[in-house]
Chains A and B, each alone.
Chain A
Amino acid sequence: MNSGEKLVAKVPNVVLENVQDLTITQVTRVRRDVWKLATAQQWHATIAAYAEAVRIMKTRPASDPTSWAYQAAIHGNAVADTWRNTCQHSSWFFLPWHRMYLYWFEQICRAAIQTSPNVDASTKANWALPYWNYDRGTPTNQLPKAFRDTTTPSGDPNPLFVAGRNPSMAAGGGMPASVTSAVAALAKHNFTGGAGGPATSGGFGGPITGFNHGGGPIGELENVPHGAVHVTVGGLMGGFNTAGLDPIFWLHHCNIDRLWEVWDRQTNPARSNPSTANWTTNQSFHFRSASGADVTQVSGGVVNTRTQLNYVYDQFNLPFIRPDLLQRIQRLPFPIPRPIPLPAGFTAPAEQEQPDRPAELAGASEDPVVLAGDTVATSFSTSGAAAFTADAAETADPERVYLNVEEIRAEGQPPTPYEVFINLPDDDETTDDHYQVGLVSLFGAAEASDPESEHPEGIKYVFDITELYKALKGAGLWDEADVKVTFKPVRVEMPEGASAAFTDAEPQADAPVTIGRVSVFYQ
């Protein structure tokens, strides 16, 4: 199965952090945090070897399955075939498909590195894809400098640099915690969503689907940090068909792959991947091996990276939380509706099962909401709305409450994700977190707006706001006649001393996004 095994030598003196029950075998590779590598040396041998692999792959014709262009086309392409344009989004196959994709891409990189005289023997023997853990605060929320420099230390064009990224990110800006934090995703107990009809969420890993290229509700991890990082980095990263052409894409997805491991390793309560045959074996996917041959994998064949794919990550820490955010959380006037991301001893609060009945529309916006780069709000009434029991009898209070952001369409690549707030009382930046529902990454909005796509209904986000609803209602801040939902564009955090020109270079709304409807559902 592993065509790259013959290239692999024993891993010497591997030091792992926070890895439990892990036995390193002769063929087990270790994927490492790129910022730890870059901190030790900006052009660490692992990063330099990756650049060399990218350079070699870029010299190959696009028709070569091991070329840079072809590998990117597997993710998204104007023309689909057995291999190309097959990425899985808004689906419970999102995580396993990308794990397979990374695995075979890594094999191709590794084979390319073996042929290069510019890579030393030790690196050739041990090389694995690094990952970008952007959730450890500054500077890890910035693009590593090796990906921003236009040239290598030797003065050659840098294969890891691509033009057209978000100017602020290209200038060394950092992504805010709302973009990088996986806390909300990791708190999900269930891999897939429930059975709430129009308010069915995607759970941790995505809704139950067949082969699904995009469109429809998405899993929490696919939204944040996955989609949010895609859109915030921008440029090639912002679209399905071009994302794989940015070398940072592969490191970003290694981190998403690692976060799946982090989620799976949680024990309170124990998490579990789907076990039904529809997920494990019935749907297969095609990729290209290091020799360009067709290879096929199923999700059940990639659930254990160590035993099935011969690689591990160097650490599985739960997400980092910035001290200032923690301080803000502790000042809340009522319990925060989202999991409190404590740096140690973290346990997710109990997540209620979604009732097995359709949710009930309580209220919705009358007109579309256009996101054009500025903060925008919409209001609507939920007056007279009732919740219903499983027997369709009216009840005083809803068991669950959802905020749906749906029918989202974009003519082009969305310039930035948006944070979503409910009943925001003012513009005081220090109180925002009280009312924040989540974030809409908007990744895939343009693709899902294509009438020729499989899901031309656009993309959709479902937020369970039950605890926030109860807290606001208890505090007298929930007016049924005026439920206000606010969308705030995410701003990249510029480093200290950055010139005003950088701040002015925030992404502009050249491709407005239209939200067809914002609605509240009771269940």
Chain B
Amino acid sequence: MIARATADPPSRLGWVGPARRTWFRHPERTLAGVALLAWGLVLVQVAGHRHGSWLQAQATWLTMVGAMMIPPALPMARHVALNSKRQRRQRGAFLFVGASLLPWVAVGLVLVTLSGPAGLSEYRQMVLGVSLLLAAAWELTSAKKRALKKCHRTIPLPAHGRKADIACVKLGLNYGRACFGACWALMLPMALLGHLSVTLMLVMTGIAVAEEVVRKGYRLAPAAAVLLTVAGTMVLVLG
């Protein structure tokens, strides 16, 4: 028998109550809002110019990283928030997510910088198709499976002060490394080519979320591999 929920006492907070209650029960929703904002910016960027300065390319990359990599991190961000004292819930969750995105920032600095002068955009279809096939192949490796498991590894979080901050950052870096190991191939097309179709980005995000959020997400890898193979083949064959 599952424990029944007790009836909530009458709210003493008036109209603030529901929002405060949601904030209390789901502290990770702030970060979900950040991810939604990033998706909004992606839509704006897709509708705008495709070619810009180095800074614009970096901003585009970081926006895509925020849109695609924050959603898989939300369960762990919730873990960090609920294992922090109330006044530091958001601080801990943001420190964690911020640190977890650092590997992607580093990748952006290198790949986005190099891909422009390399003129990869001239071979857009081929680069995209090969990247998708590479991502499909990566799905089936044991290294991907190991990385997904590491995404669930936690560390103790002290309650107070600098030690708590450091622990949140450390957990973020650990998670970020594992997440990068699991998702680098999914993000490679965006790193090399900039914006792609929103549909394709949503599919990539869906795969990342499903594999990282579900406890045994690696079991979804074969299905993801098939999906990516079909997509890559279509891009190469149909253009």
Contact = CB atoms under 8 A, between A and B. Distances in A.
B1 A190 contact: yes
B92 to A, nearest CB: 10
B24 A361 contact: no
B8 A390 contact: yes
B228 interface: no
Interface in B1-31: 1-6, 8-9, 11-13, 17, 20-21, 23-25
Nearest to B18: A391
B3 A192 contact: yes
B25 A358 contact: yes
Contacts of B17: 391-393
Size band of the interface chain B makes with A? 35 or more
Interface string A194-213: 11011000010000101100
B1 A386 contact: no
Nearest to B145: A452
A392 B159 contact: no
Given A364-B158, A391-B12, A190 B24 contact: no
A292 B163 CA distance: 55
Interface of B: 1-6, 8-9, 11-13, 17, 20-21, 23-25, 79, 82-86, 146, 149-150, 152-160, 163, 215-216
19 contacts: A190-B3, A191-B1, A193-B3, A195-B5, A210-B215, A274-B1, A274-B2, A353-B4, A366-B160, A392-B17, A392-B23, A392-B24, A393-B13, A451-B153, A454-B215, A455-B152, A456-B150, A457-B152, A519-B159
Contacts of B79: 198
Interface residues of A, number: 53
B128 to A, nearest CB: 34
Contact of B163 (A271, A366, A456): A366
A357 interface: yes
B8 A361 contact: no
A205 to B, nearest CB: 10
Contact of B153 (A194, A197, A392, A457): A457
A92 to B, nearest CB: 10
Contact of B149 (A191, A210, A211, A452): A452
A516 B215 CA distance: 22
B144 to A, nearest CB: 13
A392 B3 contact: no
A321 interface: no
A12 to B, nearest CB: 39
A187 B100 CA distance: 43
Contacts of A366: 158-160, 163
A368 interface: yes
A272 interface: yes
Which residue, A190, A191, A361, A380, has most C-beta atoms of chain B within 10 A? A361
Nearest to B1: A272
Which residue, A275, A276, A358, A360, has most C-beta atoms of chain B within 10 A? A358
B14 to A, nearest CB: 10
A315 interface: no
Contacts of B156: 368, 406-407, 516-517
A431 interface: no
A516 B1 CA distance: 31
A97 B13 CA distance: 47
A363 B153 CA distance: 22
A357 B22 CA distance: 10
B3 A391 contact: no
Interface in A284-314: none
B83 A393 contact: no
B159 A203 contact: no
A355 interface: yes
A385 interface: yes
Given A197-B82, A198-B82, A360-B86, A391 B13 contact: yes
A267 B131 CA distance: 63
A519 B38 CA distance: 36
Nearest to B157: A517
Interface string A154-166: 0000000000000
Interface in A231-281: 271-276
Given A208-B2, A451-B149, A457-B153, 11 more contacts: A274-B2, A356-B5, A360-B86, A361-B85, A390-B21, A391-B9, A392-B20, A393-B11, A393-B17, A407-B156, A517-B156
Contacts of B158: 364-366, 517
Contacts of B20: 391-393
B236 to A, nearest CB: 35
List the 10 closest A-B pairs by CB distance, nearest first. Answer: A356-B5, A516-B156, A392-B24, A390-B8, A194-B3, A517-B156, A364-B159, A457-B154, A456-B153, A391-B11
A451 B154 contact: no
B85 A385 contact: yes
B198 to A, nearest CB: 32
